[in-house]
Amino acid sequence: MKFSKLGQLFLVSSIGLLVATLLTACQIVTIDYVFVASSGSSGTGSNGQINTYAVDSASGALRSVNSVVSSGGVGPVALAVSSDYENLYVANQTNSTVVHFTIDLNGVLTQKETVTTPFQPASIAVNASGTYLYAAGGTSPSEVAAYPLTSGALGSSAAALAQLTVPNFTSDLLVPTAVTTLTDSGVVFVTAYDQSAYNPGGTATSSANPGWVFGFTVGSGGAMTAAAGSPFKAGIKPTSIVADPTNRYVYVTDYAQNQLIGYGIQSGSTLDFLINGPFKTGNEPSAVVIDPRGKFLYVANSLDSTVSAYSIDLSTGTPSGALNPVGNATNPTDTQPVAIAADPAVGRFIFTANHLGNSVSGFILNPTSGTLTQTQATPYPTGANPTALVSIPHGNHSLQSVTP
């Protein structure tokens, strides 16, 4: 049978349309970008690096995109992003710097200004209004510094400094570990442990409680004033801290006692223990994150190389570990996860940075039950010894939120 030219043209057009449809159906759609900081090189004095990954909207799988960039300093230990997701900040501990990068629509990073901190920074956070970046670090003294931000740009010097000291033990050596801010208020929380009281392998010289959370309210010009009752006891070695999206609860991981400590926030900045805590985790919990809806909480256990999953009772703040009972390693990561992040676009994926695995592990979050399943081809290779990661949404995606 012979086709007319018109029939042949119609057939070719139909086949082309079918192929295009199939290709579109199989096309990878990027829903988030993930940035991972690592040492980058084993050479002494070598700058760290930042890898960029695109998150597939359907599977949560990561693929490396864009060029690897220098962290702008040596020994990157922490990352933070502005609430508009247009700015990335890197804390480089070894050479005491914080470096600002802008983020374009395709996740490309461009280095901007660098500030030198008065201490080796351990952690950084940006407040929701994008007016201050907070850096915590040092040991003698231990401090938190507030750096002013103008359209994402870092001020050249700290607008305010606040020292971390334990009442009646002011000469003890404190080691800051993490900092966070409440989303709708000028409140900052910093975790630290007392090295004079907790010194594994050495001699303890103080009888003070080892673990603490310091709370500050922020006033004019960034001035920080200790919150009523601060500092608050936090086990032995607090390693990370997170506040829920409703600003009603705070959670801290205690690395030394394998537990999660929960607090209710009273009068905007005072912490009270949740009455049924603390809550069991895996071994050596190093990082904690809450999903964007505020319904589920996830802890990275560095010794076990697992993630523990909890549901949060929004009326009491109690995290239930029924999703992943301790001892049942249903959420294995690569070796030694030290940082954890949730995707902000749809709240369906969880990622960990695995320090000894030189990788990122990915999980799909069930938005109804909170349970996790591994993403395709996880784990994904990174630079040497990754220490931190953050995620930003890509495209016109509505962010997830929770209303109490």
Which tens digits make up the pLDDT trace of 261-313? 999 999 999 999 999 999 999 999 999 999 999 999 999 999 999 999 999 99
Q: Are 383 and 40 in contact (CB under 8 A)?
A: yes
The confidence score (pLDDT) of residue 183 equals 83
Nearest to 372 by CA among 336, 402, 329, 316: 329
What residues have CB less than 8 Å from 172, skipping those under 6 apart? 165, 166, 194, 195, 196, 197, 206, 208
What are the percentages of helix, strand and coil residues in the chain, rounded to 5?
A: 5, 45, 45
Q: Are 152 and 133 in contact (CB under 8 A)?
A: no
Longest CA–CA span in the chain (Å) reads 98
Query: What residues pair up with 162 in beta bridges, in sequence order?
Result: 144
The confidence score (pLDDT) of residue 396 equals 56
Nearest to 362 by CA among 390, 346, 342, 392: 342
Q: Are 371 and 309 in contact (CB under 8 A)?
A: yes
Q: Give 10-residue mean pLDDT values along the chain (404 residues).
A: 43 37 54 94 76 96 97 97 97 97 97 97 97 95 97 96 96 97 91 96 94 96 96 98 96 98 96 95 97 96 96 94 58 97 96 98 95 96 97 71 49
The confidence score (pLDDT) of residue 41 equals 61
Burial class (CB in 10 A: 0-12, 13-18, 19+), 371: middle
- Can you tell me which residue has the tokens 């890197």? 90
Which tens digits make up the pLDDT trace of 95-119? 999 999 999 999 999 999 999 999 9
Write out the two tokens for 53: 């990954």
Nearest to 354 by CA among 342, 371, 365, 340: 340
- Can you tell me which residue has the tokens 């030189």? 358
Q: Are 50 and 78 in contact (CB under 8 A)?
A: no
Sorted by where each begins, the domain ranges of the chain are 29-393
Task: Report the run of H or E that residue 89 belongs to, with start and end.
Answer: strand 87-92
pTM: 0.90
Q: Are 360 and 386 in contact (CB under 8 A)?
A: yes
- Can you tell me which residue has the tokens 């870092």? 154
Question: What's the 3-state SS for 320-370?
Answer: EHHHCCCCCCCCECCCCEEEEEECCCCCCEEEEEECCCCEEEEEEECCCCC
What residues have CB less than 8 Å from 12, skipping those under 6 apart? none
How many Å apart are CA 91 and CA 331, to the nearest integer? 29
What residues have CB less than 8 Å from 73, skipping those under 6 apart? 47, 48, 90, 92, 94, 95, 97, 99, 114
The confidence score (pLDDT) of residue 400 equals 53
φ, ψ dihedrals at 142, nearest 5° = -95, 135
Half-sphere exposure (Cβ direction) of 197: Cα atoms closer than 13 Å = 21
The confidence score (pLDDT) of residue 11 equals 41
CATH 2.130.10.10 holds for 29-393: yes
How many Å apart are CA 234 and CA 278, to the nearest integer? 10
The confidence score (pLDDT) of residue 10 equals 39
Nearest to 213 by CA among 168, 256, 262: 262
The confidence score (pLDDT) of residue 321 equals 73
